[in-house]
A and B are shown apart, each in its own frame.
Chain A
Amino acid sequence: MNARSRLNHNGASSTFPAPRLPRCPTGIHGLDEITGGGLPRGRPTLVCGGAGCGKTLFAAEFLVRGAAQFGEPGVFMSFEETDAELTSNVASLGFDLAGLVRRKKIVLDHVYLERSEIQETGEYDLEGLFVRLNHAIDSVGARRVVLDTVEALFAGLPNEAILRAELRRLFRWLKDKGVTGVITAERGREQLTRHGLEEYVSDCVILLDHRVHDQIATRHLRVVKYRGALHGTNEFPFLIGEDGLSVLPITSLGLNHKVSSARISTGIPRLDAMLGGRGFFRGSSILLTGTPGTGKTSVASCFAQGAARRGDRVLFFSFEESPNQIIRNMRSIGLRLEPLVQRGCLRFHAARPTLCGLEMHLATMFREIAAFRPSVVIVDPITSLLTAGTDYETKGMVTRLIDFLKAGQVTSLFTSLTHGGHALQQSEIAMSSLMDSWMLVQDFEGNGERNRVLYVLKARGMAHSNQVREFLISNRGIDLVDAYIGPSGVLTGASRVAQAAREKAEALAGQQEAARRKRELEHKRGTLEQRIAGLRSDYETEELDLRRLDEQAGTRTRVLTAERTELARLRQADAHRIAAHVPAQPKPRGPR
């Protein structure tokens, strides 16, 4: 399926209702979406802009596409370029103007005015221009007309009053003729056009602009006015590529992408495990941020290799390294990318970020994506493009890219280079909100070494690990291991190994200590038990003595009692009283 057509369909259907005015499709990528179908049919449209902003190409593309794609022949009346110049200029965009002229689809008419050759002697009108245009229109049955740049007449003809009246008549005449017109005009200082043509052409006005910001030029297009129709009023970047103009609608505003719950492996088993066990969602966007040298490209390449081996088509945009360099470098960590490139599963596209403006990059990427139709796209790193535009523009570009990719159900991984320090996460917030998953690779420095750790900061829609993992790059690829997390903090690398050894030693020492103490205690217990045995025998001896004493005392009491009873009997005392009295007098001998 063609990703571009899907995007277009998406944007058009979600944003604009069915057009009420009949439209004339321009065939220019993106413009028909913004205007809800094209330029107003049967009416003139004013295209204005400064020098070199692409007015003539806009007009030429409108005409060529009309003739070649929509079966509407056209007339190109040029007041500036000759037919030959025009033909060769637009040939660079792949338009075969000469062929269309030969096949009677397009008429080129170069109107040439040299003021020094002209002497004005009384009243005149521009009927000659009308006759010419009419003749040209009739000769091919034209439905489209371009006048480029009609303002040249102001330089060529001395009488402005006549000219204005005639131009008004001309636009009226074009409308009556029922042709869809594109009239280009130079941008004026205080008004849209230098000579106020917008007064006469008021159905649709499109403004083109070419601005330079930080030495990088970006083209913008804005539909200033579109009578009787809804239209996108924003400024849309556009570019002139190898196949003509492309206007890039910022985003499909509806946010109505299809979503998939299918998963795609990251190529690193432990990372899959961190992401709910099964890796990323298909069609999601992933941000991988990290400071320099943390292995972002390696993670990206791992993902690329894994996906390509499973039969996904992977497109790798590299803005830092050349494809061969990536292939060589990745070989050192055990990734074999070359066979995948040869099989056509993996494609690299490398460009310097400063090569061209942001929009050009974006368009190139769109074109590559449309041509290769990948299911995985890697951009390494997206931050390089920051040098090609402002933050705002970059964000806009990333938004559009992500929307484009999401609309095509393409899984995208963006690496992002951050600089050390606390701004690490802040600088990415603008971008991270666009991303579904965000992983952070970070350096830990300590003990004279740097170690890499990896976190999953967020992963929308899945239960992901909140743990930090140490991230190891070896010649067998990438592996994640548990970092040491203990009282002395998170330890990685050699210190993690050292800590593990230390713990092992400590454990061993602890065991030995315990054994020693056990022995000691047992010894102590033995001693105690001996003492207990001694005490017990003492106790038993004393108890024996005590019992003997008791027996002796009992015997003596009985003897005494018997003696007393005998004495009482002898004295004839009351037996009862004596018997009761006996226990109350335990020491009967005391007072005696």
Chain B
Amino acid sequence: MRTGTLERLAARSPRRLAGTTPASSARRRPDRLWRLRLYVAGQTPRSLTAFANLTKICENHLKGRYDIEVIDLLEQPQLSQGDQILAIPTLVRKLPQPMRKIIGDLSDTGRVLVGLDLRAAK
């Protein structure tokens, strides 16, 4: 795979803006936009797995209200400092606050949901 594939994948992923569905619950605020950022370093199988896992989870749980930005640190190494990225791949939940970080290839769906605060920890 060539560089930029992930970006293309990201571009194809559904992007829906917040506000299309009226707020039903003040506490969960499901209408809010989920802004997610996935850091990868090159087109490694692990990165691709992580991206695939992420889109699947988002489609299942956040359909229509998420936004995934993929950052390849090999191309933009200066961005690693801002979100304190060490591990690859790292998924950062920028919104809603507070920020959360999930490291790994996101293969453990249950932990990803806990990490994203979509499901309470057992």
- A residues touching B (Cβ–Cβ < 8 Å)? 109, 111-113, 117-132, 134-135, 153, 156-157
Inter-chain contact count A-B, CB under 8 Å?
98
Nearest CB in chain A: distance from B24 CB, A: 27
Which residues of chain A come closer than 8 Å to B87, judged between CB atoms? 124-129, 157
Instruction: Tell me the complex Cα distance, A129–B80, Å.
Output: 8
Q: Tell me if B10 is interfacial: C-beta within 8 Å of chain A.
A: no
On whether the beta carbons of A113 and B86 are closer than 8 Å, the reply is yes
A–B Cβ pairs within 8 angstroms, 14 of them: A117-B99, A117-B100, A118-B101, A119-B102, A119-B103, A121-B105, A121-B107, A124-B89, A127-B88, A128-B41, A128-B73, A128-B80, A131-B73, A135-B78
On whether the beta carbons of B115 and A124 are closer than 8 Å, the reply is no
Which residues of chain A come closer than 8 Å to B90, judged between CB atoms? 124, 128
Which residues of chain A come closer than 8 Å to B105, judged between CB atoms? 121-124
On whether the beta carbons of A122 and B100 are closer than 8 Å, the reply is no
Which residues of chain A come closer than 8 Å to B108, judged between CB atoms? 121-122
Instruction: Tell me the complex Cα distance, A282–B121, Å.
Output: 81
On whether the beta carbons of A129 and B86 are closer than 8 Å, the reply is yes
Which residues of chain B come closer than 8 Å to A126, judged between CB atoms? 86-88
Considering only residues 27-48 of chain B, those with a C-beta below 8 Å from chain A are 39, 41-42, 46
Given A128-B41, A128-B90, A131-B73: A121 and B84 interface contact (C-beta under 8 Å)? no
Which residue among B39, B77, B85 has the maximum number of chain A CB atoms within 10 Å of its CB?
A: B77
Instruction: Tell me the complex Cα distance, A254–B89, Å.
Output: 58
Which residues of chain B come closer than 8 Å to A109, judged between CB atoms? 81
On whether the beta carbons of A124 and B104 are closer than 8 Å, the reply is yes
Cross-interface CB contact of A113 among B81, B84, B88, B112, cutoff 8 Å: B84
User: Beta-carbon contacts of B90-119 to A below 8 Å, as 1s and 0s?
Assistant: 100000000111111111100110110000
Cross-interface CB contact of A119 among B73, B86, B99, B112, cutoff 8 Å: B112
Instruction: Tell me the complex Cα distance, A123–B111, Å.
Output: 13
Q: Tell me if B74 is interfacial: C-beta within 8 Å of chain A.
A: yes
Given A109-B81, A128-B80: A123 and B86 interface contact (C-beta under 8 Å)? no
Nearest CB in chain A: distance from B16 CB, A: 24
Cross-interface CB contact of B77 among A112, A120, A135, A153, cutoff 8 Å: A135
On whether the beta carbons of B80 and A121 are closer than 8 Å, the reply is no
List 19 other contacts, CB 8 Å, given A118-B102, A120-B111, A128-B80: A113-B86, A117-B100, A118-B101, A119-B100, A119-B112, A120-B104, A121-B106, A121-B107, A123-B107, A124-B88, A124-B90, A125-B46, A126-B86, A128-B41, A128-B73, A129-B87, A132-B77, A135-B77, A135-B78
Which residues of chain B come closer than 8 Å to A117, judged between CB atoms? 99-101
Nearest CB in chain A: distance from B51 CB, A: 13
Which residues of chain A come closer than 8 Å to B88, judged between CB atoms? 124-128, 131
Instruction: Tell me the complex Cα distance, A153–B77, Å.
Output: 20
Instruction: Tell me the complex Cα distance, A126–B108, Å.
Output: 19
Nearest CB in chain B: distance from A67 CB, A: 20
Which residues of chain B come closer than 8 Å to A124, judged between CB atoms? 46, 87-90, 103-105
Cross-interface CB contact of B103 among A118, A132, A135, cutoff 8 Å: A118
Cross-interface CB contact of B84 among A112, A125, A127, A131, cutoff 8 Å: A112
Which residue among A111, A118, A127 has the maximum number of chain B CB atoms within 10 Å of its CB?
A: A127
| Interface residues on chain B, number (Cβ under 8 Å) | 33
- B residues touching A (Cβ–Cβ < 8 Å)? 39, 41-42, 46, 50, 53, 73-74, 77-78, 80-81, 84-90, 99-108, 111-112, 114-115
Instruction: Tell me the complex Cα distance, A161–B111, Å.
Output: 20
Which residue among A113, A122, A125, A157 has the maximum number of chain B CB atoms within 10 Å of its CB?
A: A122
Instruction: Tell me the complex Cα distance, A227–B114, Å.
Output: 48
B84 and chain A: residue at smallest CB distance? A112
Which residues of chain A come closer than 8 Å to B100, judged between CB atoms? 117, 119
B100 and chain A: residue at smallest CB distance? A117
Which residues of chain B come closer than 8 Å to A123, judged between CB atoms? 46, 104-105, 107
Instruction: Tell me the complex Cα distance, A123–B108, Å.
Output: 10
Nearest CB in chain B: distance from A169 CB, A: 13
A129 and chain B: residue at smallest CB distance? B86
A153 and chain B: residue at smallest CB distance? B86
Which residues of chain B come closer than 8 Å to A132, judged between CB atoms? 73, 77, 80-81, 85-86
Instruction: Tell me the complex Cα distance, A276–B57, Å.
Output: 98
Nearest CB in chain A: distance from B103 CB, A: 5
Which residues of chain A come closer than 8 Å to B53, judged between CB atoms? 122
Q: Which 4 A-B pairs have the closest CB atoms?
A: A119-B115, A135-B77, A122-B104, A122-B107
Which residues of chain A come closer than 8 Å to B112, judged between CB atoms? 119, 121
On whether the beta carbons of A120 and B86 are closer than 8 Å, the reply is no
Nearest CB in chain A: distance from B49 CB, A: 8
Nearest CB in chain A: distance from B121 CB, A: 9
Which residues of chain B come closer than 8 Å to A118, judged between CB atoms? 101-103
A139 and chain B: residue at smallest CB distance? B78
Nearest CB in chain A: distance from B86 CB, A: 4
Instruction: Tell me the complex Cα distance, A156–B87, Å.
Output: 11
Nearest CB in chain B: distance from A77 CB, A: 11
Nearest CB in chain B: distance from A304 CB, A: 59
Which residues of chain B come closer than 8 Å to A122, judged between CB atoms? 50, 53, 104-108
Given A113-B86, A120-B103, A121-B107: A127 and B41 interface contact (C-beta under 8 Å)? yes
Instruction: Tell me the complex Cα distance, A111–B90, Å.
Output: 15
Which residues of chain A come closer than 8 Å to B80, judged between CB atoms? 128, 131-132, 135
Instruction: Tell me the complex Cα distance, A126–B101, Å.
Output: 14
Which residue among A129, A131, A157 has the maximum number of chain B CB atoms within 10 Å of its CB?
A: A131
Instruction: Tell me the complex Cα distance, A123–B90, Å.
Output: 11
Instruction: Tell me the complex Cα distance, A135–B76, Å.
Output: 9
A130 and chain B: residue at smallest CB distance? B41
Given A119-B103, A123-B107: A128 and B85 interface contact (C-beta under 8 Å)? yes
